[in-house]
A and B are shown apart, each in its own frame.
Chain A
């Protein structure tokens, strides 16, 4: 009986630890979070930046030009009555 309970307790404790342990971002859920980060950054830049100073804002959030194998976001600006899209890469 004791052995069974000990096994159960060990299982529950280990399962909880495994469930909450910070793991490398490989699952779908992590991808969603990464997208959220990109979208939040894109929103922040879009609200504050104008056509002339967008580069300084991209620099401020450590964004780079789009890189292969890196999450990529896009922002929209209006320059001289034309919508302009700027892509950027960002990694935490």
Chain B
């Protein structure tokens, strides 16, 4: 009887030990999987640059291929359009890259504005247009199962009032360019 107790205790200790080591190992292994994300990031910031400057993505990638070696791009799907009107407008870029090792990463840029009203300043008689502006960049790396979302600040180049709630007021009849710090621009036309 005593013998059996001893064996059970021994087994319990061994199992606990295995459990502890297993847990330790699995958390440690998870971390190593992130290796290489900086190379994907290099591709994605290049995509953002191409989107901002409207340059050819393949040419830009060629300029950095000695940095990203041995990872390279097999093919990429690029969607890039802009449409700016008085009541609403949009700048959209989507770059999905497929690498030589079968992984994929993507960059998406979505800047929109929408006219939500006018404001008449009774004191000065000045009329401003109020726009609701949204600007986001999304990055998807193969190492993560979620998308990294970046809210972007846009700087207007015209006379303006920026409100804290995501709206901007610009004078009636003046066009305005909103620019992010990487050079991507959206244009709100002045109209007639």
Interface residues, chain A, with chain B CB atoms under 8 Å away: 1-2, 5, 8-9, 12-13, 15-16, 19-20, 29, 32-33, 35-36, 38-40, 42-43, 46-48, 50, 52-53, 73-78, 81, 83, 85
Interface residues, chain B, with chain A CB atoms under 8 Å away: 3, 6-7, 9-10, 13-14, 16-17, 20-21, 24, 28, 31-32, 34-38, 40-42, 44-46, 49, 53, 55, 60, 63-64, 67, 137, 139, 141, 148, 150, 181-182
Are B35 and A39 neighbours in the complex by a CB distance under 8 Å? Answer: yes
Instruction: Chain B residues near A50: list those with CB within 8 A.
Output: 181-182
Are B10 and A8 neighbours in the complex by a CB distance under 8 Å? Answer: yes
Instruction: Chain B residues near A46: list those with CB within 8 A.
Output: 38, 41-42, 44-45
Instruction: Chain B residues near A78: list those with CB within 8 A.
Output: 45-46, 49, 60, 182
A36-B34, A43-B41, A48-B150 known, 16 other contacts, Cβ within 8 Å = A1-B6, A5-B6, A5-B10, A9-B10, A12-B17, A13-B17, A19-B24, A39-B37, A40-B34, A42-B41, A74-B67, A76-B67, A77-B45, A81-B53, A83-B63, A83-B67
Q: Nearest residue in A to B24 (C-beta to C-beta)?
A: A20
Are B6 and A76 neighbours in the complex by a CB distance under 8 Å? Answer: no
Main secondary structure of the interface of B (DSSP, over half): helix
Main secondary structure of the interface of A (DSSP, over half): helix
11 contacts between A and B (CB under 8 A): A5-B6, A5-B9, A20-B24, A33-B28, A36-B34, A40-B38, A48-B150, A74-B67, A77-B45, A83-B60, A83-B67
- A12-B14, A81-B53 known; A20 vs B63 contact (CB < 8 Å): no
Are A16 and B148 neighbours in the complex by a CB distance under 8 Å? Answer: no
| Most chain B C-beta atoms within 10 Å of own C-beta, residue among A19, A39, A43, A81 | A43
Whole-angstrom distance from the CB of B114 to the nearest CB of chain A? Answer: 26
The docked-state distance in angstroms from the alpha carbon of A85 to that of B45 is 12
Q: Nearest residue in B to A52 (C-beta to C-beta)?
A: B181
Are B139 and A39 neighbours in the complex by a CB distance under 8 Å? Answer: no
- A5-B10, A47-B41 known; A35 vs B181 contact (CB < 8 Å): no
| Most chain B C-beta atoms within 10 Å of own C-beta, residue among A36, A53, A85 | A36
Are B38 and A13 neighbours in the complex by a CB distance under 8 Å? Answer: no
- A19-B21, A20-B24, A36-B34 known; A47 vs B148 contact (CB < 8 Å): yes
